[in-house]
Structure 1
Amino acid sequence: MILHRNEIMQLLAEKYYYFLNSLPFDDDIYMTGMGEARRKFLANLHITVMKKQLPPKYNDWRFSSDYVSEQALKHLKLGKWDSNTLQYDHMVPKSDYIRKVCEAAAKNGTLTIQFIYENLLKNLWVATIHTEENNLLSKLGLRNKMPLDWDGFNIFARYEKAGIELIEHDKSYLYVHIDR
């Protein structure tokens, strides 16, 4: 069953709420040990859900992105790249705008599923870009940061500053040759 974006964000919000509320934030040793899990939990959960939306032949997470650059799309359509060619990029860096915000709310006891859901709807967007484009973002200091003049809404701001054009990832090409 193909889920709509709002259904996916609701599912992620529920699972992320459960995860965050299970963490003992006052236990420094435990939280340090859980550092990598905390950084990767939401991304891995998102990838898992999104891959289930794709035909089995195309279950690489790079096919699941919301947006894509023309250069990356060429590789996706050919089905030819190595792990260093294409990057799965969170358009709004998830660490600063999702994880830290949600963890702060969990720590102070104000976290709700609705809070997470609204944050994800606004900030959880991914793009598949070519490594050269990713390197350009890094060179401009935008690899994991929004521009200083970001308005808080334009999810394309980093790419616009770098001159990288993203298009909506129309995934219809994934369904053209499916055996029935």
Structure 2
Amino acid sequence: MKIKKLVDLFRQSPFFISKFDTYIENAINKAIWYAIKRSGNWMMEKGVYTKVYTPDPDRTVFIKFLSENLYNVLKLKNEIKDDVLKSYHLSAKGIGDDLYYLTESYYRKLGTYKGKHSMSDFITPRANEFLGSGQISKNLMYEHVVPKNLYIRELAQATKMSELKEERIYELLSIYYFVCTVTVEEDEILLSIKMDEEWDRKNPFHRYEKAGISFFRNIERYA
């Protein structure tokens, strides 16, 4: 991402105020360059900046909460006798619902829950505009950055084989369980249930980078 793109994103963000344009020429460009240099969160190569995502200090506690509770839930689901019912509860939809409601439970206990979009880790600039306008339900999507079926499948299989480990749940969720609030239009240009063949299985933001969709940390979640 070049500095011009970063400037454009800043102008779309809630941090921009028109007064900045009354400062010296290219003040925003220079300020962003200085902030990037000092933050240590961006890597520059051949004039292009790449974001280096640093861990959220509260994320460790959050993922621990999810992994402990999901482990207990999946162990109980494995005791279901009816094959049809068990198949549903160990599907991507069933386990995905467990993750969603555990996430909601976590943020309700923190007292920061303000609807599902307040729980997303990231939000796009355009989605952030809608979030402030009140046009939420029809314009925004709660989108898993890595399609959840890609890692839930492993958890379901391990559960059925009685080989499920809480440590493995923690590892998978730490790497892949990120949610971004996007617009309906942005959601339509993302691969919905898979990653492309270029994905290294390490970078959870690969789909967004390939689609050219930018995002930033969801302020609402930290309010």
TM-score bucket of the superposed structures, by smaller chain: 0.7 to 0.9
Stretches of structure 2 lacking an aligned partner (at least 5 in a row): 1-56
2:215 to 166, 173, 180: 166
- 1:114 matched to 2:167: yes
CA drift of 1:158 comes to 0.8
**8 Å contact kept, 2:130–2:136:** no
Identity of aligned residues (%): 30
- Could you tell me how far 1:12 is from its partner in structure 2? 0.7
Q: Tell me the equivalent position of 2:142.
A: 88
The aligned counterpart of 2:107 is 50
1:40 corresponds to 2:93: no
Q: Which of the two has higher C-alpha Rg?
A: 2
2:199 aligns to what?
A: 150
Of 135, 153, 161, the residue aligned with 2:188 is 135
* Amino acid across the alignment from 2:179: V
Task: Report the CA distance shift for 1:54/1:145 in structure 2 as closer, same or farther (over 3 A).
Answer: farther
Q: Deviations over 1:15-54 (max 9, x none)?
A: 1111111123774223245355334211222233234445
Q: CA deviation at 1:168?
A: 2.2
Distance in 2, Cα, partners of 1:170 & 1:80: 16
Aligned length: 164
What CA RMSD, in Å, does the superposition of the two structures yield over aligned residues? 2.3
- Partner letter of residue 127 of structure 1? C
CA distance in 2, matches of 1:109, 1:32: 15
The alpha carbon displacement at 1:154 in A equals 1.2
TM, length-normalised to structure 1 = 0.80
CA distance in 2, matches of 1:18, 1:43: 15
Q: 1:29 to 1:12 in 2, by over 3 A?
A: same
1:29 is matched with: 84
Q: CA deviation at 1:103?
A: 1.3
1:73: which partner in 2? Answer: 128
| Aligned-pair CA distance for 1:6 | 0.8
Equivalent-residue separation in structure 2 for 1:135 and 1:60 (angstroms): 22
Q: TM-score when scaled to structure 2?
A: 0.66
Distance in 2 between residues matched to 1:82 and 1:75, nearest whole Å:
6
SS in 1 for 2:65: helix
Shift in Å, 1:95:
1.5
Specify whether residues 87 and 54 from structure 1 end up closer, same or farther in structure 2 by C-alpha distance, changes over 3 A only.
farther
Report how far residue 153 of structure 1 moved.
Answer: 1.2
Q: 1:171 to 1:39 in 2, by over 3 A?
A: closer
Give the aligned partner of residue 9 of structure 1: 63
Alignment CA distance shift 1:170-1:41 (3 Å): same
